[in-house]
Structure 1
Amino acid sequence: MLEPDGRALLLDALRPPDGYILDSAVATTFTVHLESALSVALAFIPRRLADSADPIALMEAVRSAADRLDVFHQAGMAAAPQSHSSIVAFLEPVLHAVRRPKAGHLFHPKLWALRFVADEGEGVRMRLVVPSRNLTSDRSWDLLLQLDGELTDSADPVNEPVARLLEALPGLSVGEVSQVRRARIGRLADDVRRTRWELPQDMTDISFDVLGFGAVLEDDFFVGTRDVVVISPFLTPAGLATVTAGRPATVISRQATLDALPADTLAGHDVYVLDPLTSELVQAPDAGPPVATGLAGLHAKCYVLSYDRRTWIRVGSANATEAAFGGNAEIIVTLVGPSSKLGAAEMFGDDGPLRSILTTYTPQTPEDDDAELTRLDNVLVDLASGLFTVTVLGGDDAYRARFTGPALAPGEAGIEVSARMITLPGSDQPLRAGEPVDLTFGPMAIDEISAFVVLTATGPDGARARCLVLADLVDAPGGRLDAVIAGQVDTPEKFLRFLALLLGAGDSTFLMGAADAGDASRAVGVRFEAPGLFELLMRALVDHPDRLEDLARLVPKVAGAGVLPPGFAEIWAVVDAARAEGSGKQ
C-alpha cells in the first residue's frame, strides 16, 4: 500500500472477478467528465473488447451498462467533452447531479459500490473502491483502495455509514431518480450492510466515516502520539491544525498550495512536494533507461497517525481544509495495523517507497490565485442545482428543443452566462439575470436531440468556466436512441460487430473477411458464416428475446443504406417471422 510502483487503473479496479458479471454499481464523485464516464463501461465487458479501441464496442458497453450503473456528482461539476459524440445520449439516465450539502460547501465523496453475480450458477461478490480521484481524465498521483467481500447473513455495523450514504443519494439528486433505480440502489445498500470485507495485507481493522449532511468527525479522530503524516493536495492553516493537532508532521502537498500558506503555517513540519522529475519518470524494472508514466501533480489524500504500537491510515476524499471537515460531503476509510509494518518510518525513511519520489519543499513566489475562476464555478454550481427541462418540438428531422429552468441569480457583477445544446456547437444564447431560462434551439436531426446543455460563465476579464446540466427530457421521439445506434452502425463491418456484441458473441466468430475494428473504412467484401449467425439469432430468440427487439428496430433504419451484409436480409426475414409469431405480432 502507498507504494509508487504499485500502480493500478480505475478500470482495472472495476472489472468483475473471473466468472462474474456486473449486476449493479453506484458511484459518487465531485467532478465528472463525459469521456471518462463513457470509458467506465468498458470495465464491464471482456478485456479483449475493452482494449480494442472499437467505437462499436464502446457504444454497446455503455448501452448495456446504462441500466446497471448510477453516477452521482456535484451539480455544476459535469464537464463537456472537447468534441461531441452522440453515444453520450446513453449516459442520460446514468448521471445524477447532487445539490450542495449546505451553503458554501460541496458534494465531494469518491466511492464505487459494486455487486457482481456469477455468470453461471449462484454466487455474489461485493466490492468497494475508494479512489482519491474524480471521474475525470486527470493524470495526477492518486490513491485507490479496493475492498472485496462476500455476503453474510447479518448486517455489520461497520458498514452502516456507507449503506446510509447509498440510500440517501436518490433523495439528494437535483432531478428525479426513477423508482427502478431507487429500488436497485436500495438493494445494493442492503447488500453492503451484509458484506464482510477482505482486509489488505497487514491490516487488522477497518471503519468508514461519511461527513456532511450533519455528520462530523469525533474530536479525537486525528489524535496520535507520533509519526503523523499528511498527504493532501490542498491545505489551509485550520485544516492542517486539525489533522496534526499541533504535533510535528511530515506534510506532502502541491507546490502552489504550500506557497499560498501563511509563512508560519509550516513551522515545525517536514514538508515535501513530488519531485518534478520522478513524478513523470520511473526507472524501468530491467535497469534500462527511465520510462514516462504520464503522471504529474498530486491528488492523493492520506493521513497516517500512530499510537503505541498501532498505526491508523485514513484515506478517502477529504483534503486538509476547513471545508472538508466543516460541511463538505466526504468519505474517509480508516485502516488499522501494526506500526512495525505501516508506520511513517517504514514509508518515509531513506529507503521508504514514497521517499524516492519526493523532494524537500523550497518556497517560491506564490502563483496568482484563481479567485475569478472560483467565482465563476460557484455561479455555475448554484445555477446547475436548479431543475431544467428540454421539451422537444416538431418532427421529421427538423426538431427544436425548448430549454427552460430557474432564473440566473442577479448580483454577480460582470458575469455573463450563456447556454447551448451539447450537440449544436455555436448555438450559444445568453441568459438574463433575474429571468427564468427560456431558450429554443434548432432545427436539429433526431440523433441531435439531447438532455445535455452546456452552460458557460464568462467573467469581466474574459475568464471562462463551463459545465453541463442534464435536463429532464420531455416529448423526445421514441426512436431517438435507435437513430443514435444507426448513425454509428454505418458499414456492414460495423453492423456485424454490433450484432455480435448484441447477441453476446463478443468475438464475432461467425464473421469471415470483415475489416478490422480500426480499419472500417476499407472497401472489404464482408462474408459471414450463415449457419453460425442463424444459430446465434435463434438462440437469442429463446434466451434473450429483448435483444432481438433491439435488432428489429435497427434493421429497417439501416436496410436502405447499404449497411446490411449480403445475405443477412434473408436470414433475418426467417428469424423475424419467428420472433413476430412468438410475440403475437403477426
Structure 2
Amino acid sequence: MLRSSNITTYTDILTPPEGYETEQALGLTFSMDLTMVLACAVSLFLSKEILEDIKGERYDVITALSEAKEKLRIYGHYGRIKVPETFSPVFTLLEPCIKSVRNKKGSFHPKVWLIKFNCKNSNEKIYRLIVMSKNITDTNNWDVTYHADGKIKTGNYNESLITFLNSFTHDSKDKKFISNIVKELEQVQFKNPDDISKVLFHGFPNDNFSFPNKMQNTVIISPFLSEEKLTEIKNCSDGVIYLLSKDDALNKINTNTLDKFKCYTLKDEIIDGLSLLDEITNNDINNLIKMDLHAKCYLWEKGSHTHIILGSNNCTNSAFSQNQEAAIEMVAHRDKIKIENILETLIDNTVYKINDYKDKEEEIKLFSPYIRSDEIIKDDSENIKQADQIRRLLEVSPLSGIITKDKESDSYTIEFTSNLSIPDKYSNWCVEVALVTNKSVKKILDKQVLFDNLELDSLTSFIIISIKNKDYNKYRYLVKVEYKNYSDYFSKMENRIVSEIFNSTNKLINYITWLLQCDPESSNDLPIFVETSEGFGSKNGVEFNIPLYESLILVAAKEPKKLQKIDHVISILESNNNIPEDELKIIEQFWKPFKKYIKGIK
C-alpha cells in the first residue's frame, strides 16, 4: 500500500498502454520541480523515462515538449515551484504547460492526473485517472497512489470528478483545455481495483464528505495533524484508533487528545533509507537517501465493509474545509480486505539493528511505537513561519509584467509591477526577485522593478522570489508570471532554442534517424545527442541517402505524425540562419514531397 517512489516509479504510471499514444494530459499538484515535469512529458509522449541528467541536448526532451506545448497542462499552487540548481534552456519550453492557482482561503493541494490516450490503429480511447499523495517532485518519501483505466460505456459516471476539475480555474483558455479532456468523462467507466466493489471521488472543499459514526478499527496515516480533526475522528470511532504519523507532528498534539490513539511513527532506519537494502553495502549506510512519511490515508470498518480513503488530505481541519484537495474512497467487503491484515504489514513492535536487516527485506515493517519527546529542538521554524506569511501576501498581490523590445539595440526589457505591502511587524524582512535565466542579478521587489538590456534567451516567465532577513536567507521559490504579451516572444524563444540545438545539418540528420528508430514500446534507453562523422558523400558533406528516404516513406504510411515532428524542426531552421544557405536548400528539396504529404494529416 505504501511505496517509496522516485522519478522513475512516478513517471511509469503515466506511460501510455501498449498501442496507444497520449492525446491530452491534465496534472494537478501542490508543488513541482521542473526536471520532474520534463520527465512527465517524456513519459507521456514518448513512453520513456529520463534516466540521465538533462544537461546537454536531448532528442527525447525536445520531441516530447513539442507535443506537450498543446497537449499537457499542469496546475500547481502559486509559487510552489522549486528553484532549479542549474538552469536549462529546455525549461523555457515548459512555460506553456505550467499554470498557477491561487486559493485565497487555503492551499491548492490536490495530486491528480487525468490522461486521455488514443489507440494508434483505431478510434478507441482509454482514460486514466490517478489520485495520489505525491507531488510532482523528485522525492523518495513514502506515498500512496490509486490509478485506474477506463473506457467509454453507456451510462452516467464521474459527476463529482467533473465538477471538481471544472472548479479551480476561470481563465477562458484553461477552461477550454479542461473542457476538451472532460467532455466525454461522464461516459467513462473506470475499472475498479481487485476486491474493490465501489470507488468514489471526493473533491474538497465542496464535497459533502464527513466521517461516519461508529467506525471500527480506524486507521489514520498522515504526516501533518491538528487537534480538531483528530478529536472529530476520535468522536466518530468505536474502540482503538491507530495513528501513523511523524514524531514532530505527534509531539505537537496534546497528550489528552491522543489518549484513545495507538500511535506509531516511521522507524529511524526506514527514514534513513533501509528500503534500498539491495543497493547498500556496509560503506554506504551513512549515505542513504532520506525517505520520510508523506502518505495520507484513512481506513475503517463499518458493518460488513472496509473503507479506504487515500489522496492529498492531511489530517487537519484546513485539508477538509478550506484547501482544494482530492481523494479516492474505495469500499470492499470485510472478507476481501481486512484492516488487521493491512496493519500487520505496516506495524512492528520488534527493534532491529541495522545489520539484522540483511537478507530480510521482505520482513521489514515501516512503523514502530511512538515514544513522546519533550525535547525542544531549535530550528528555523519561526523564521519560516514569518516568511510564509509574506509569501501569502505575495499570492494575494502577485507580480504582473510586460516585455518590451528596444528596436535600436535589439535588446529586451522586463518590467514587473507589484502591490505588495509588507506590514511593520515584518519590517526586518525584504523580498528579492531575479530571473531564473540569470540568478546573479537580484533586485529588491518594489512597486516597479526593471530588468533591461536582456538578450532573447534571457526572457522567462519563471521568476525567483527570495524572502530573507539578516538571520535567514534560505526561503526561495519560483513563481510563474503571466505577461500580457508573452505569446509574441515565446515563439521566438522556442525557435532560438531549437535552432541552437540543431545548428548543423548533421545534427538534423541524426535527429531524423533517431526519430525513425525510436520505438516507444522498446526497452532501449533514449540517446542524448551524438555528433555524426563528417561527410555523407556529396557537396559540403551533406547527403540524405536512399535508406533514410525509404525509411521516411515507410513512416509516412505507418506513423505519419512522426513527420510532423520533423517538419516542426525544419520549419524553425528555415526561419533562422544557423545552417548555411546551400545546405538548407538541400534540406528543403529533400523534404518537399513530405511537406506536401503532411498537409493532409489530421
TM-score range relative to shorter protein: 0.7 to 0.9
Look up the SS of the partner of 2:143 in the other structure. coil
Query: What is the CA distance between 1:465 and its match in structure 2?
Result: 1.8
Could you tell me whether the CA contact under 8 Å between 1:398 and 1:442 is conserved in 2? no
Correspondence 1:202-241 to 2 at 5 A:
202-212=195-205, 215-219=206-210, 221-241=211-231
2:321 paired residue number: 326
Deviation at 1:495, TM superposition (A): 3.4
Q: Match for residue 369 of structure 2?
A: 360
Partner of residue 523, structure 2: none
Q: Which amino acid aligns with 1:428?
A: K
**CA distances 1:148-167 after superposition (whole Å, capped 9, x unpaired):** 111123322xx112111212
- Looking at structure 2, the residues matched to 11 and 241 of structure 1 have their Cα atoms a distance apart, in angstroms, of 37
How far the C-alpha of 1:397 sits from its partner, in A, is 8.0
CA contact (8 A) 1:304 1:343 kept: no
How far apart, in 1, do the equivalents of 2:222 and 2:154 lie? 38
**Alignment pair present for 1:550 and 2:568:** yes
Matched, 1:488 2:511: no
| Structure 2 residue 457 is the aligned partner of structure 1 residue 447 | yes
2:573 pairs with 1:573: no
Determine the structure 2 residue equivalent to 1:498.
511
What corresponds to 2:268 in structure 1?
Answer: 276
Question: Contact conserved, 1:141 with 1:295, CA < 8 A, in 2?
Answer: no
CA contact (8 A) 1:126 1:150 kept: yes
- SS of aligned partner of 1:356: coil
SS in 1 for 2:415: strand
Give the corresponding residue for 2:472: 462
In structure 2, the CA distance between the partners of 1:583 and 1:234, relative to structure 1 (3 Å rule), is closer
- Give the distance between the partners of 2:45 and 2:202, measured in 1 at CA: 32
Say which of 383, 388, 393 aligns to 1:372.
Answer: 383
Alignment partners' CA distance in 2, 1:479 and 1:286: 46
Q: Hey, what does 2:128 align to over in structure 1?
A: 127
User: Are the aligned partners of 1:224 and 1:305 in contact in 2 as well (CA < 8 Å)?
Assistant: no
Question: Structure 2: 5+ residue runs without aligned partners?
Answer: 348-361, 521-525, 537-542
Equivalent AA in structure 2 for residue 98 of structure 1: V
Change (3 A) 1:459 1:338: farther
- The 2-side partners of 1:399 and 1:286 are apart by 51
**Contact preservation (8 Å) 2:544, 2:590:** no
**Residue 180 of structure 2 is aligned with which of 174, 187, 196?**
187
Residue equivalent to 2:9 = 9
CA pair 383-308 structure 1, distance change in 2 beyond 3 A? same
Alignment correspondent of 1:513 = none
Against the structure 1 CA distance between its residues 358 and 491, is the aligned structure 2 distance closer, same or farther, given a 3 Å change threshold?
farther
**Residue identity matched to 2:489:** A
**Which stretch of structure 1 is more off in the superposition, 223-232 or 310-319?**
223-232
Identity %: 19
Contact kept? 2:224, 2:315, Cα under 8 Å? yes
After TM superposition, give the deviation of residue 84 of structure 1 in Å.
Answer: 0.6
CA change 1:265–1:349 in 2 (3 A) is same
Q: Distance in 2 between the 1:226 and 1:277 partners?
A: 31
| CA distance in structure 2 between the aligned counterparts of 1:72 and 1:185, rounded to whole angstroms | 11
Q: Which moved more, 1:78-87 or 1:568-577?
A: 568-577
Q: Deviations over 1:433-452 (max 9, x none)?
A: xxx3x222142322222122
**Map of 2:76 onto structure 1:** 73
Which residue number corresponds to residue 250 of structure 1?
Answer: 242
Aligned amino acid, residue 463 of structure 2:
V
1:55 and 1:577 map into 2 onto residues whose CA distance is: 26
Which letter maps to 1:42? Answer: V
Rounded Cα–Cα distance in structure 1 between residues aligned with 2:427 and 2:5: 49
What is the TM-score normalised by the length of structure 1? 0.84
CA distance in 2 between partners of 1:307 and 1:109 (Å): 27
**Aligned residue in 2 for 1:83:** 86
User: Partner of 1:163 in structure 2?
Assistant: 162
Amino acid in structure 2 at the alignment position of 1:530: N
Distance 1:246 1:206 in 2: 22
Residue type at the aligned position of 2:245: S
Aligned letter for 2:94? L
Give the drift of 1:375: 2.6
Distance 1:322 1:368, change over 3 A: farther
Instruction: Please give the secondary structure, in 2, of the residue aligned with 1:93.
Output: helix
State the partner residue of 2:413: 401
TM-score, scaled to structure 2: 0.82
Partner in structure 2 of residue 316 of structure 1? 311
Alpha-carbon distance in 1 for matches of 2:204, 2:332 = 24
Alpha-carbon deviations, 1:535-580, whole Å to 9, x = none? 4556788955754552334335776568x9xx96564131355578
2: CA distance, partners of 1:423 / 1:12: 30
Q: For residues 117 and 523 of structure 1, what CA distance do their matches in structure 2 show?
A: 35
Aligned-partner SS, 2:168: helix
Farther-moved stretch of structure 1 (65-74 vs 445-454): 445-454
What secondary structure, in the 3-state scheme, does the structure 1 residue paired with 2:259 have?
A: coil
Matches of 2:555 and 2:193 in 1, distance apart? 42
Q: Deviations over 1:349-384 (max 9, x none)?
A: 378799812111112324346232133133224324
Describe the SS at the equivalent of 2:166: helix
**8 Å Cα contact 1:393-1:402 kept in structure 2:** no
User: What is the match of residue 414 of structure 1?
Assistant: 428
Q: Partner amino acid for 1:282? A: S
* Partners of 2:83 and 2:365 in 1: CA distance: 37
- Assess if the C-alpha contact under 8 Å between 1:492 and 1:526 holds in 2: no
Secondary structure, counterpart of 1:200 in structure 2: coil
Higher mean displacement: 193-202 or 56-65: 56-65
